[in-house]
Amino acid sequence: MEIVVCVKPVPEAESRLRARPDGTALDPEGVKFVLTGYDESAVEQALLLKQEAAGSKVHVVALGPASRTDEVLRASLALGCDTAMAVEGNPASQDDPVAAGRGLAEAIAARGARDLVLFGKQAGDDEEGLVGGAAAEALGIPFVGFVVDLHFDAGTSRLRFGRSVERGQESWESPLPLAVGLQQAWNDPRTATLPAILRSRKAPIARHPSASAAAPTVRSVPIRFALPPPRQGAKMIEFKSPQDAAEKLVRLLREEAKVFP
């Protein structure tokens, strides 16, 4: 099985967020872009499937400027992915998730065989969750999101998986090809060994050039990035007895917060 896993360089969780001087988007100055949450889970899932289906290869693909993609690609290679490809994308629509999906699809189609294409269900920064569905539709393969517990049944050559939805958990099965958006794994992703990290520093990264530099007319343009005013911290309720605390809280919820009938 040829498994493609798409990852996005995302600001480190500890990053201090601030807007660019013009206020339109996150200021990337001093921010380290790394492999995070949902994507780590997608890489882990790809590597688990590789163990289940003998002879499989895992190809990691990242979209964005080389200054950001190479870090996450090398991190993925160090975890056990077989090949890496950086997709420059269209610099004019770098922040547009639908354009990113289209760019990834072009690069994946050009790379060669793809039986299964994995995505995190959304990126940890913009939380759009659009790229997987967009790329799948552009590739002409089916897409299922919010996927958990993905397994390959070698006997039937079918995938079996769960889908975590509002009312519970669905069970699904599908032949290949398929694209999925993965819920973050409940089992902790593996960590890379030092020799693997050192090897990944010298591993080759294929580069898929940008197809067109023209700004598309249909696009999503970031116009403002704002941090909420810092939360003041909770109003702590002073009380004489548990019942007093309960009465005071319920009164505040009804009269001040107005969330309670």
Partner 1 sequence: MTDTVLVIGEPDGAGLAEATLEAVGVAQKVAGPGGVVVGFVGGSDAASRAPAFASAGVGRIVLASDARLDRAPPATLARPAAAAAEGVGASVIVLGGTTFGRDLAGSLAIAFRASAANGVTEAERVPEGVKVRRPVFGGRATEERRLEGGRVVLSVRPHAFPAAHGPGVPLVAEPLPANDVPAVLLAPTRTGIAAVAQGIGPSLTDAAIVVSGGRGVRAPENFHLVDELAASLGAAVGASRAVTDAGWRPASMQVGQTGKTVSPQLYIAVGISGAVQHLIGMVSSRVIVAVNNDPTAPIFRVADYGIAADLFQIVPALTAEIRRVRGI
The two structure tokens encoding residue 231 = 């939360």
Q: Which of 110, 113, 154, 246 binds partner 1 (CB under 8 A)?
A: 246
* Sign of the dihedral through C-alpha 212, 214, 218, 223: positive
The window from 27-35, 43-51, 97-105, 201-209 that contacts partner 1 (CB under 8 A) reads 97-105
CA 17, CA 235: separation in Å to the nearest integer?
26
Q: Which of 168, 195, 204, 229 binds partner 1 (CB under 8 A)?
A: 168
Q: Is 209 in the site for partner 1 (CB under 8 A)?
A: no
147-166: contacts with partner 1 (CB under 8 A): 163-166
Residues 6+ apart with CB under 8 A from 234: none
Q: Is 214 in the site for partner 1 (CB under 8 A)?
A: no
Angle value at C-alpha 21, between 19 and 27, nearest 5 degrees: 40
Smallest separation (angstroms) from partner 1 to the CB of 53:
18
Smallest separation (angstroms) from partner 1 to the CB of 6:
12
Characterize the bridge pairing of strands 168-175 and 158-165: antiparallel
Q: Is 234 in the site for partner 1 (CB under 8 A)?
A: yes
Q: Is 220 in the site for partner 1 (CB under 8 A)?
A: yes
Nearest to 62 by CA among 1, 135, 113: 135
Q: Smaller CB distance to partner 1: residue 195 or 229? A: 229
Number of CB atoms found within 10 A of residue 19's CB: 14
The two structure tokens encoding residue 69 = 């993609």
CA 54, CA 45: separation in Å to the nearest integer?
15
Q: Smaller CB distance to partner 1: residue 204 or 230? A: 230
Q: Is 225 in the site for partner 1 (CB under 8 A)?
A: yes
Smallest separation (angstroms) from partner 1 to the CB of 227:
5
64-93: contacts with partner 1 (CB under 8 A): none
Number of CB atoms found within 10 A of residue 4's CB: 28
Q: Is 17 in the site for partner 1 (CB under 8 A)?
A: yes
- Cα dihedral: 166, 167, 168, 169 (round 10): -70
Q: Is 249 in the site for partner 1 (CB under 8 A)?
A: yes
Q: Is 243 in the site for partner 1 (CB under 8 A)?
A: yes
Q: Is 190 in the site for partner 1 (CB under 8 A)?
A: no
CA 68, CA 244: separation in Å to the nearest integer?
55
Q: Smaller CB distance to partner 1: residue 198 or 222? A: 222
Q: Is 177 in the site for partner 1 (CB under 8 A)?
A: yes
